[in-house]
Amino acid sequence: MDLAPSRPEADTRRRILDAAQGLFVRHGLDATSLRMITAHASANIAAAHYHFGSKDALIEAVFRRGLARLNEMRLTELERLERAAGGSPLKPRQVLEAFFGTALILAADRDQGGFDFMRLLGRTMSDPNQFIRTFLAAEYQEVVDRFKSALFAALPEVPREEIIWRLHFMLGAMSYALAGTDALRLAAGLAGEDDPRAIAPRLMSFLLGGLRAPLPGKSAEVSISDTPTSSVGANRRIDKPPRQTARASGSKTVARGNPPAPGHRSSK
């Protein structure tokens, strides 16, 4: 017996999901009712209960659909890069591009719902709702663990706790950038700048800068390199000390390359 939904049923389910996603972005999860969703989807409450059972189950279905697409894109790109590397660790930049770059590509998709979904995901990443946090953590876990392992391999000499913290900060930065929080953008003087194609190069540059920043408590001259290696200390860039620019002349010091001060008399 074929239990797969018929085409009209599948179409109704898709319309409800699309309507819910758009309304969640505009009004928020709590302020959007099932009645609003079904009216927007040209369906009825009975259809929503038939396909999803409850509003919480509908919220889960919206996120599960979007995250399945996003996670597939991320893993496909990561696996492609790993095959090309032939068993060698990826560069940290490649790992970030596979994780965050694919999210930005999805966010640029306005035709298939990627733009709305990434805005919704960005806003709910900081949602205090325990149900949402628990659900998203479970859906993200496998993919995040996969990318953490890739970063650990790319940066073997960086403490793993530090990598996890930086990944946490980077997730927050991306979520805020894609959330479309108009009040804060206006305060920053970025009114109207919500095109992911314009955001992408700026955000990736910012994330890479954060990953390469000096370790806490270290000199600003010690930072994380983008070249993976297993050699101790080779993944840190240490700048040479500045050259001495002064030389003693008797009991006085004259700056090299600078003209003598007025009234200065050579000791020669």
- pLDDT score for 262: 47
- Between 76 and 228, residue with greater pLDDT: 76
40-49, 87-96, 117-126, 148-157: the lowest-pLDDT one:
117-126
For residues 189-202, average pLDDT: 71
Q: For the chain, what's the residue count?
A: 268
Long-range contacts of 113-116 (CB under 8 A, 24+ apart): 113/18, 113/21, 113/66, 114/66, 114/69, 115/196, 116/21, 116/22, 116/25
Task: Name the range with the highest mean pLDDT among 45-49, 132-136, 194-198.
Answer: 45-49
Give phi and psi for 64, each to the nearest 5. -65, -40
Two tokens, residue 62:
């919206």
- Between 254 and 89, residue with greater pLDDT: 89
Count of CB atoms situated within 10 Å of the CB of 222: 13
- pLDDT score for 131: 83
Mean confidence (pLDDT) of the chain: 80
pLDDT at 62 over 90: yes
Query: Which domains are seen in the chain, by residue range?
Result: 1-53 (1.10.10.60), 63-234 (1.10.357.10)
- pLDDT score for 186: 57
Q: In DSSP terms, which residues pair with 236 in a beta bridge?
A: 224
96, 170 in Cβ contact below 8 A?
Answer: yes
All residues at 6 or more sequence positions from 57 whose CB lies less than 8 Å from its CB, including other chains = none
74, 99 in Cβ contact below 8 A?
Answer: yes
- pLDDT score for 77: 97
DSSP-assigned states of every residue in 176-207 = HHHHT-HHHHHHTT-TT---HHHHHHHHHHHH
pLDDT digits (tens, 9 = 90+) for 91-127: 999 999 999 999 999 999 999 999 999 999 988 887 7
The structure's pTM equals 0.74
Helices (H), 125-256: 130-154, 160-179, 182-187, 196-211
